[in-house]
Amino acid sequence: MIIAGGTIMIIGTAVLTSSTTVAQLLVGRIVTGIGNGFNSSNIPAYQSEHCDAKTRGMLLSLQGVVTIVGLCIAYW
């Protein structure tokens, strides 16, 4: 699922960079958002299964913080 999410994000980014109309821009944003949703739901579970208990909370919190900071930058 992580590879599928990354692949979908790459396809969405390619659509975004080659867009010449507003419709293409919207489709690219939707496709990229779907890929981001795949990764946002699967990476924390994968991360929590493979890291030790001592750093699990910090890594999962960091993933949420990075997501929120990215949204703030995108909205700005």
Q: Which domain holds residue 45?
A: 2-75
If you average pLDDT over residues 56-72, what whole number do you get?
87
d(C-alpha 4, C-alpha 38), whole Å = 8
d(C-alpha 76, C-alpha 72), whole Å = 6
Look at residue 48 in the predicted model and tell me its pLDDT: 84
Q: Residues 65-74: pLDDT tens digits?
A: 988 998 899 8
Q: Residues 8-32: pLDDT tens digits?
A: 999 999 999 999 999 999 999 999 9
Judged by DSSP in three states, 45 sits in helix
Q: Which residue has the higher pLDDT, 26 or 60?
A: 26
d(C-alpha 51, C-alpha 36), whole Å = 22
d(C-alpha 11, C-alpha 33), whole Å = 11
pLDDT higher than 90, residue 63: no
Number of domains in the chain: 1
Single out the residue of 2, 72, 71 nearest to residue 35, CA to CA. 2
